[in-house]
Amino acid sequence: MLSKNIIPKVIIIVGFIISINLYWIIFGGPICLLGIIYFLLQKRTIKSKIIWALWPPMLVYPAFMLFVYLSGTIGVAVAQKLEFRFPEGFRGTAIIVYESDCGQDQIIENDREILMIPKDGICFYKGNIATGYINHIYKIKTDSIYEVLPTLHRWNFNNEQTSNADSNTLGVFLEGMSTRTIHPNKESFSSIGLVLTSYDSLDQYYDFKYTKYLENRVDSLWQTCQNELGK
């Protein structure tokens, strides 16, 4: 059984650990504060009271930054490893429908799943694409080899970051994952979107007619797959 001298320290430490994740600080903060108050009300030396009252608020932000760094590093290291290979000259949106009954089988090379993107950009993949941390490699065929493409983000090109990337740099924008339901049978499928282009050409691939065409094309191919399987 914990002694009265140990209990407030345990409460402070537990509250501090919870608060390292800033999303949980609304729970950990009050717990930590309660432990500090409990500690200060006990018969302690002034020095120990100052130390135990100050170290949690002083160290919570550095601990949070360390938590973010370690979770990101470890998360990427253990994340699903995917390599997307684009055909020569490809530009535009690629949509990968995963966990599909039709389409591309899983190909593993060097502990990484390889997805071959067709010329129309619509790939049906029998494997799964996990959510969470991302460990992706993007390549495009140039002559007889595949060259690595950089991963681009919109924030690379905002007013404060324009020096970090050229607007005409060719790369891949990750558009995220989505789930669509096909009516009237109400069956659904999940997909991930990628856009291979430069930032200065990005807007054309968000044109309503272009995105609607791709959406209808994916729906049609998915329905064809279901019909072939007799579903």
Residues 58 and 139 in one domain: no
Residues 28 and 105 in one domain: no
**What's the domain count of the chain?**
2
Residues 71 and 168 in one domain: no
For 221-231, what is each residue's pLDDT tens digit? 888 888 877 76
For 158-182, what is each residue's pLDDT tens digit? 655 444 567 788 999 988 888 877 6
Interacting residues of 168 by C-beta distance below 8 A, sequence separation 6+: 198, 199, 200
> Final residue of a domain: which of 33, 49, 77?
77
Do 88 and 142 form a contact (C-beta atoms < 8 A)?
A: yes
Residues 177 and 162 in one domain: yes
Residue 8 to residue 49: CA distance in whole angstroms: 11
> Final residue of a domain: which of 21, 47, 77?
77
> Final residue of a domain: which of 31, 46, 77?
77
Domain that holds residue 117: 80-228
Q: What's the confidence (pLDDT) of residue 225?
A: 83
In a domain? residue 2: no
Residues 219 and 127 in one domain: yes
Whether the per-residue pLDDT at 1 is higher than 80: the answer is no
pTM of the model: 0.74
Residues 203 and 140 in one domain: yes
In a domain? residue 198: yes
Residues 98 and 169 in one domain: yes
Assign 156 a pLDDT band (cuts: 50, 70, 90): low
Q: What's the confidence (pLDDT) of residue 139?
A: 96
Q: What's the confidence (pLDDT) of residue 161?
A: 47
Residues 109 and 65 in one domain: no
